[in-house]
Amino acid sequence: MRGRFSRRHFGKLAGLLGLGMAGGPAVAEESRTTPTTAPQRPASFPSGFIWGTATSSYQVEGAVHEDGRGLSIWDTFTHTPGKIYDNSNADRANDHYHRYKEDVGLIKELGAKAYRFSIAWPRVFPEGTGAPNPKGLDFYDRLLDELLGNGIEPFATLYHWDLPQALQDSVGGWQSADTCKAFADYAGYVAKRLADRLKYIFTINECGRFVNFGYGIGLDAPGLKLPPAQVNQVRHNVALAHGLAVQAIRAQGRAGTKIGPAENIAGCVPAIDTPENVRAAEIATREMNAGFLNVMLTGKYTDGFLKYAGKDAPKYTDEELKIISSPMDFLGLNIYAPQYYVVASERPPGFDVLPFPSSFPHMSSDWLRCAPETAYWVPLLAARIWNVETIYVTENGTSSEDKVSSDGNIYDLDRIMFLRNYLTQLQRATAEGVPVRGYFLWSLMDNFEWIYGFEKRFGLYHVDFHTLRRTPKLSASFYRNVIAKNAVGA
């Protein structure tokens, strides 16, 4: 062995990394002989809990010019100078398009039984609408077979931000209801073609993020800074597209296909968990998610939302609200950081939002505040407010510096700390009966992190973006252990 570890240390590490080294038990003599109190009870998840990992098409596939794929707004955006921090693009990314078999092998190595990926709309309809590309679904056909052949359940997202550029050019993308119609056609087509093997479909990933960042403040593709009334109309159109897609999948797919969104719910956490603050967090969660989740699940915009929007409120019909709230089968929640800590207030609507102190800890991405209790409160409040019976955590994970050590390993202890704490809180929720049925760790492997390019790494597997070699980080061993035990702390 190389490096500065003693043999005993190395044995321990090797054990952790699952290297099967004959290092001997790395347990100090005294701890073997000291009488212990009752063994620590592992915090188990419900039986049948689905453990998975996640990626998205533009972030991993590469092969942007292959097999008739059209351009997406992210191709255009990344090739516009100044938009991406490290001036990179995802033309090649992880080359998952060609290496998917190896990548399915990585999922299998973790023992995960589910994989959330996304389908690139411009592969299927290069112009967004009109004639489908005859080769457009071939890759996903192969991927589905490979996953199922390895005992991994596919969960596909239809829209993870790669809007066909043609729709942006012709009708202004999500500014137009024509895009909602095109999305529904695409959703129906995918369902018709793949529903024999694809049983779980997420409509849209993180409406909240791409509407605000893409159309409001211009940081994400397509880079627009529209006035509030137009952003609200985009928001409404996206919600409508979700509802139309649900209907199209029901109409053209198979009975029993499960459908839902994968939303970055604006998580509102009680600052101190008194009954009054918990009630305040509930009110806040409803109001802060009025534009997407609440309207999708109730068919109404809240009074607060409409009052706040005032003259800038979106234009809509009652019929559209019905479509938006088409019944779903589950709620998918991306859970990273809390949006707000709240306390009760005497003033309507009954909560106050507290400012974050600058010393609040965050992970390697500065927006990713480390607040494990988010994984407890967010699903609990969502289930309570909207009375949902099935929740999937569709994303959770963290970026980390992930330096490769001199011994070739990546000791991402901060990621393990993050996951251990978030999963402990998630387990607490399931133990109290919150209906979380599965968890998708973001991400299977390092990939193109949008405006941060390749600078931010979220993977369980490290990717060398020169050689494209995948290497498990220590957190991959951590997650494998969680999955094997169906528990944290075991």
Does the footprint of ligand PNW cover residue 334 (CB under 6 A)?
Answer: yes
Distance of alpha carbon 51 from alpha carbon 83, whole angstroms:
35
**Is position 369 an interface residue for ligand PNW (rule: CB under 6 A)?**
no
Distance, in Å, from the CA atom of 297 to the CA atom of 149, rounded to the nearest integer, reads: 35
**Shortest Cβ 368–ligand PNW spacing (Å):** 7
Nearest residue (CB) to ligand PNW, 11 versus 214 = 214
Say how many Å lie between the first and final Cα of the chain, rounded.
29
Catalytic residue among 146, 153, 206, 282: 206
Q: Which stretch binds ligand PNW (CB under 6 A): 202-210, 240-248, 349-357, 407-415?
A: 202-210
Contact of 482 with 488, CB cutoff 8 Å: yes
Nearer to ligand PNW, 139 or 454 (CB): 454
Query: Under the criterion CB under 6 A, does residue 340 sit at the interface with ligand PNW?
Result: no
- The per-residue DSSP string of 21-47 comes to --------HHHHHS---SPPPPEEPPT
- What is the identity of the amino acid at 352? D
Q: What is the DSSP string of 301-320?
A: --HHHHHHHGGGPPP--HHH
Write the burial class of residue 388 (CB in 10 Å: 0-12 exposed, 13-18 middle, 19+ buried): buried
Binding piece for ligand PNW, criterion CB under 6 A, among 94-102, 182-190, 201-209, 318-326: 201-209
Closest distance between ligand PNW and the C-beta of residue 99, in Å?
Answer: 19
CA distance 426 to 245: 30
C-alpha torsion angle, residues 187, 192, 196, 199 (rounded to 10): 20
Single out the residue of 206, 282, 320, 373 in contact with ligand PNW (rule: CB under 6 A): 206
Pick one of 78, 129, 264, 289: the residue that binds ligand PNW (CB under 6 A). Answer: 264
Per the annotation, the verdict on 206 as an active-site residue is yes
How many residues in the shown chain lie near ligand PNW by CB under 6 A? Answer: 13
- The residue whose Cβ lies closest to ligand PNW is 367
Contacting ligand PNW within 411-440 (CB under 6 A)? none
Applying CB under 6 A, among 70, 203, 449, 488 the residue interacting with ligand PNW is 449
- Whether 276 sits among the annotated catalytic residues: the reply is no
Cβ–Cβ under 8 Å, residues 5 and 467 = no
Q: Does 336 bind ligand PNW (CB under 6 A)?
A: yes
C-alpha separations of 10 from 18, 23, 389, 474 in Å: 12, 7, 46, 13
CB of 458 to ligand PNW, least distance (A): 6
**By CB under 6 A, is residue 367 in contact with ligand PNW?**
yes
What size, in residues, is the chain? Answer: 490
Under the criterion CB under 6 A, does residue 205 sit at the interface with ligand PNW?
Answer: yes
From 61, 146, 263, 395, the catalytic residue: 395
**Closer residue to ligand PNW, CB minimum distance, 294 or 334:** 334
Give, as ranges, the residues between 51 and 90 that touch ligand PNW (CB under 6 A).
56, 59
Q: Please give the backbone phi and psi of residue 114, each rounded to the nearest 5 degrees, phi first.
A: -150, 150
* Residue 401 structure tokens: 């510096």
Q: Which positions are catalytic?
A: 206, 395
List of residues contacting ligand PNW (CB under 6 A): 56, 59, 205-206, 209, 264, 334, 336, 367, 395, 442, 449, 458
